[in-house]
Structure 1
Amino acid sequence: MMLQTPSIPAFRSFGRTSGRMIWMLFASLCAVLLLAAFFGAEIYGRRSAMDAIESQSRTDANLKVALLNAVMERPRALPLLLAEDQQVIDGLSSARDGAIDTLNRKLERLVTGTQAAVLYVIGPNGIAISSSNWQEPISFVGNDYTFRDYFRKAMDEGTAEHFALGSVSKRPGLYISRRVGSAAAPLGVVVVKLEFDRLESDWRDTHRPVYVTDDRGVVLITSIPSWRFMMNKPAPEAELAVIRSSLQFGDAPLATLPIRRPRPIDTEASLVSVVLPGSGEGEYLRLATPVPTTPWHLEYLVPTDAPVAAAVREMRLLSLAVLLPILGIAAFLLWRRQAATAKIAQEQAMREELERRVVARTEDLSRARDRLQGEIADHRETEARLQIVQQELVQANRLAILGQVAAGVAHEINQPVATIRAYADNARVFLERRQTSPVDENLEAIAGLTERIGAITDELKAFARKGRAAPEPVELRSVIDGAIVLLKSRFSGRLEALAIRQPPAELRVLGNRIRLEQILINLFQNALEALEARADAKVDVSVTETNDEVAIEVADNGPGISPAILKSLFTPFNTSKERGLGLGLVISKDIVADYGGRMDVTSNESGTRFTVHLRKAKV
């Protein structure tokens, strides 16, 4: 029996079948790789886009919070200043005829120079007696505000802030109030209303939803007017009834915002689905950040659909640009192995086809690079705009500090005024005794103190001009003696607690005598007040010098400063005194720094020691 060998056509048929199977397997592998690349590109592109959006949006949200704080900071100083204003006190106490009319005109002038919407004064019975809009049809004068939280809390606690819908103007705003007079004998309440129309308009220009909610989730300030007084989460009907009965938001229905939260990212950011008026539903990144000094939160919605789609598309193109050449090379090698015996023309055609594909992929990469360069240029332009906004915020912060400095000036001239009063009383006694020589001395001292007050107010003007007087050599002994003279009237009979080791007469330091006296007056006064109830009160004052520096030490044997106060001792308005402003040490440290020195403090249960380091004047 003879064996039959396969014919040549059979071998060719087997070769073609085997080749088709190899190419089918290769095509299947390419399809799997492409699908995996598309899926991976979508995951990575979405994640990288979300990270970039969140990082940039968090910066934007922080800037918006800083701008909101800057807008509120300046009006907050008005009630503090007006609560001590004599015309406000006269209007509330009816101390003289025409006091109300004078107060109306004063408030009308003040409101035009600030960011406040309305300034008004409420009597202790809750009836408004004066207002900056006293001549307008919607004047607040004569309205009863006893039902408002900002009136009740100010009368009880001294100060309050309350966001509500105006009962007369029907416009929402933040009401900042402060009690006039003491808690035992209140004269009334000063109120400033701050509206945020301009801020909301600026937010609307960005075309990204921004809104501020209170601690109950009610929208107070928003770039979308229809969202005002809506709630960022459903609330129980009992809680809604309490809010409606307070009339804080008028007859607003307190509906829930059209926001759904599919999945959280972290505690401060989450992906949400939002239905915007006129735009339909879309996916947004929601960031929430607290507003310092308030119980509010700022919430910022950033659209993610377009950026995420662009990032995914870009990553897919990039993966194709990398994967296709690799697959093409693999296909070429496979083809070359199977087509080793093919004609040279066919091999050249395949090579040209491969090169064409590589060129196409390279062009895709070039277009992707051009898009990236365009996005980098856009980011640089955004950074430049952010720097301009930051500079504007710094200037707004300086205006807020100027209000604090004005309060500090009132604190610093209090001591010279008290001394002037003491000299005036002494002069009256000497005149009754017909002793003219001491009267002349007292009047000369009063004249010197008035010059001191003028020098202090000049300091405020210098601050506003961003400048200070140049330092000059000052005799240190005369500075110490001047400070003691100003303290005699207030601490009569208690100055023996001061144990002063006088420096040499020729010792001089760089500074200004008036400003250096301010430092010592604050330190001596704080030490004597801390020792007020001690029988063994003692304040040691000593001076040591080196080649370049003079150190003045003021040490007392008082109870020391509590750690809570000591931690932020040089922070404005930080004080342990019942009637103190907390500005004396802040002003003193700033004066020392102006003249190139520094101030140190140590404190424990056995006493407190302040050391003032000043530059020594060269002889």
Structure 2
Amino acid sequence: MNSARPASSRGNGHRRQLGLWAGLVLGWLIAATAGAYALGETARKEAAAELARQSEAAAALHAAVLRSELEKYRALAPAMATDADVARLLTTPRFDARPLNQRLEALADQTRASAIYVIGADGVTRAASNWNHPVTFIGADYSFRPYFNKAMRDGSAEFFALGTVSGKPGLFLARRVVEGARAIGVVVVKVEFDALEAEWRASGEPAYVVDPGGVVLITSIPDWRFRTLRPMDAESRRLTLADQTLTDGALKPLPFHTPQGGKTQRVEAPLEGVPRPWMHARVDTMTPGWTLHLLTPDRGAIETNVANARTLAVLIATLAFGVAAVLLRRRQQAAARQRTAEAARLELERRIEERTHDLRQANIALNRQIEERVRAEASREALRDELVQAGKLAALGQIAAGVAHEINQPVAAIRTQAETASAYLQRDQGAKAARALSRIGDLTARIGAITHELRVFSRKAEPQLRPVSLNEAIDGALLLLGGRLRQAGVRLTRPRGEDMMVVADRFRLEQVIVNLMQNAAEALEGRPDGHITLAVERIADQVELRVADNGPGVTDEIRDQLFTPFVTSKANGLGLGLVISRDIVAGFGGELDLRSAAAGAAFTIRLKAA
């Protein structure tokens, strides 16, 4: 009994899992099919609506072009009907029509009208723009033409038909010519639409214009001209054939059904013998009764959109049910893993207990090492500050003699000026004594400046990075070293230019400059032409100070280890000055380096511009 129950439970669980998977697949099939149908139909409607909007816009544009073309000619016939030469031609028996023919010819060329001609009251043409063509309208009798009769009766007429002479279809715009209250003739402008039809044909969208009787007049498909939207009864067909001088082969229905009403909708129309789907749009024109129809090819856009939408629906359904399948699979795997994890957890707890002791001991050792490293870092910082201070004091010891000489001169001058002031006072010359005392004050101020710079330079303080004037730092260093340089006969070149502001601590920067200039002065000892050059240059967002001398330079053996502690070329040097200086400059975020020079040594300090 105990062994049979687990086996039955496992079998039931397996069947439940198979049932879940079968239901999942069936649900995917139903959702994918329904979603593909619904989304496909929505895409079909949206694509058809978009194509309909495009077709309506294109039809309106075609109608606007046709309207613009017609308006250009509609003003021409009325203008010619009031022309004095036209009236004289129709009322004077032997009037010379040559000048008028030439005018009509020039006017037709300028307006691109097919023909402009003048018909007398008897229906015979008296003048025409094609007067010098082999087939001319002059002498032709048009008394039977509807546009002539209607213009003579009503004053104006518009009529589309085949030309009896040219055989070309066109729109005839007629205007009555009157003298007083008597009609004496008609002026006719014939407009052909070959260029407009060619433009429509190039667009790839079949277009055609239909008159009130449903007859196609203007079209980009020549085979459709003079065909009808619907079959015509025998009487209407007979009258239309007679009016428009058409043959019996005309007035056949178009090879497709044109939708009624103004709604834009899809049609099947053959082009080059192959039925194709089109979007049909219609729009009224300015010409009474004329309607422009446009067929816009869908080029498979609707079916493509439907296919894409259906594919998207299937993908979405697949993705959704794929996620569900993944979740189901993960749930099944999670149940299996839970059983395994329970056993692993007990084993892990045992191992963790074993490792906890080792980790605790390692953590204690790590904390001890961290504390030792912190103490070492603090000691290193303190040692560096002590080395910087020691460098200052060492520099002060070396420049003490120069400073003493620098002070001795003002002291001697003070004594002299004091004796001079005493002599002036004995002679009762107060003004001269005051001048001597004023000079004593100036000399005392100079001594005070030197001693103040010594006190500031020797002071031990925490570095504070801030914008520092490079000129002020150089001035402070020269105040300490000026006397020594003059005693040694060293010439100093310091071009004056724009003051540069750098990020540094002023007094530590002075210490670096003093150290470099002092090293240069020591390298020039014994040279009669000793020369030190200071140069400042702005490079991008950095400022570079160059300290160069014309001494013997740095040997190749020393150059590679120049900034190594206790490496020096001096007999009594410790080899720490440049190491301390580089450490100070690095603390400013800058660089101290030795550059190649044609003669002597050249050190550069590069700092961030403030």
Shorter-chain TM band: 0.5 to 0.7
Matched residue, 1:602? none
Secondary structure, counterpart of 1:288 in structure 2: strand
1:305 deviates by: 5.2
Alignment of 1:186 with 2:183, yes or no, is yes
Secondary structure, counterpart of 2:231 in structure 1: coil
1:341 deviates by: 4.0
CA distance in 2, matches of 1:342, 1:141: 106
Secondary structure, counterpart of 1:260 in structure 2: coil
1:41 deviates by: 1.7
CA distance in 2, matches of 1:183, 1:32: 86
Cα distance per residue 1:19-67 (max 9 Å; x no partner): 2222111111111110111101211111111111111221111111111
Relative to structure 1, is the Cα distance of residues 343 and 137 closer, same or farther in structure 2, using a 3 angstrom cutoff?
Answer: farther
Gaps of 5+ in 1: 345-619
Of the three residues 319, 323, 331, the one matched with 2:325 is 331
Relative to structure 1, is the Cα distance of residues 142 and 185 closer, same or farther in structure 2, using a 3 angstrom cutoff?
Answer: same
Matched residue, 1:36? 34
Sequence identity percentage? 35
Cα distance per residue 1:111-130 (max 9 Å; x no partner): 11112100011110111111
Worse-superposed segment, 269-278 or 97-106: 97-106
Which amino acid letter does the alignment assign opposite residue 90 of structure 1? Answer: R
1:108 deviates by: 1.2
| Residues 56 and 264 in structure 2, CA contact (< 8 A), matched pair in contact too | no
CA distance in 2, matches of 1:209, 1:247: 24
Gaps of 5+ in 2: 339-610
Secondary structure, counterpart of 2:300 in structure 1: helix
1:240 deviates by: 1.3
Matched residue, 1:425? none
CA distance in 1, matches of 2:158, 2:230: 24
CA distance in 1, matches of 2:305, 2:281: 21
Relative to structure 1, is the Cα distance of residues 332 and 302 closer, same or farther in structure 2, using a 3 angstrom cutoff?
Answer: same
After TM superposition, the structure 1 = structure 2 runs for residues 366-445 of structure 1, keeping only pairs within 5 Å, are none
Alignment of 1:274 with 2:272, yes or no, is no
1:4 deviates by: 9.2
Of the three residues 287, 290, 298, the one matched with 2:292 is 298
| Residues 49 and 311 in structure 1, CA contact (< 8 A), matched pair in contact too | yes
1:162 deviates by: 0.4
Matched residue, 2:10? 12
1:183 deviates by: 8.4
CA distance in 2, matches of 1:324, 1:32: 11
Matched residue, 1:225? 222
CA distance in 2, matches of 1:314, 1:183: 73
1:235 deviates by: 2.0
Matched residue, 1:79? 77
Secondary structure, counterpart of 1:31 in structure 2: helix
Which amino acid letter does the alignment assign opposite residue 193 of structure 1? Answer: K
Alignment of 1:115 with 2:115, yes or no, is no
Matched residue, 1:410? none
CA distance in 2, matches of 1:240, 1:256: 12
Worse-superposed segment, 198-207 or 4-13: 4-13
Relative to structure 1, is the Cα distance of residues 153 and 34 closer, same or farther in structure 2, using a 3 angstrom cutoff?
Answer: same
Cα distance per residue 1:55-102 (max 9 Å; x no partner): 12211111111110111111111111111111111111126x543222
Cα distance per residue 1:580-616 (max 9 Å; x no partner): xxxxxxxxxxxxxxxxxxxxxxxxxxxxxxxxxxxxx
Query: Which one has the largest radius of gyration?
Result: 2
CA distance in 2, matches of 1:230, 1:292: 22
Alignment of 1:57 with 2:52, yes or no, is no
| Residues 67 and 286 in structure 2, CA contact (< 8 A), matched pair in contact too | yes
CA distance in 1, matches of 2:336, 2:221: 71
Aligned length: 339
Alignment of 1:134 with 2:125, yes or no, is no
Matched residue, 1:145? 142
Relative to structure 1, is the Cα distance of residues 135 and 259 closer, same or farther in structure 2, using a 3 angstrom cutoff?
Answer: same
Matched residue, 1:170? 167
1:339 deviates by: 3.4
1:211 deviates by: 0.6
Which amino acid letter does the alignment assign opposite residue 326 of structure 2? Answer: F
1:14 deviates by: 3.1
| Residues 75 and 115 in structure 1, CA contact (< 8 A), matched pair in contact too | no
Which amino acid letter does the alignment assign opposite residue 153 of structure 1? Answer: K
| Residues 33 and 314 in structure 2, CA contact (< 8 A), matched pair in contact too | no
1:9 deviates by: 4.3
Secondary structure, counterpart of 1:59 in structure 2: helix
Relative to structure 1, is the Cα distance of residues 182 and 335 closer, same or farther in structure 2, using a 3 angstrom cutoff?
Answer: farther
Matched residue, 2:158? 161
Of the three residues 249, 257, 267, the one matched with 1:260 is 257
| Residues 24 and 321 in structure 2, CA contact (< 8 A), matched pair in contact too | no
Cα distance per residue 1:259-291 (max 9 Å; x no partner): 136x88x7331221111124x112211111100
1:158 deviates by: 0.4
CA distance in 2, matches of 1:6, 1:182: 124
CA distance in 2, matches of 1:106, 1:50: 53
Relative to structure 1, is the Cα distance of residues 182 and 34 closer, same or farther in structure 2, using a 3 angstrom cutoff?
Answer: farther
Per the normalisation by structure 2, the TM-score is 0.53
Relative to structure 1, is the Cα distance of residues 182 and 91 closer, same or farther in structure 2, using a 3 angstrom cutoff?
Answer: closer
CA distance in 2, matches of 1:114, 1:165: 21
Relative to structure 1, is the Cα distance of residues 168 and 306 closer, same or farther in structure 2, using a 3 angstrom cutoff?
Answer: same
Cα distance per residue 1:234-274 (max 9 Å; x no partner): 2223321221232443444211111136x88x733122111
CA distance in 2, matches of 1:217, 1:44: 35
CA distance in 2, matches of 1:69, 1:150: 20
Per the normalisation by structure 1, the TM-score is 0.52
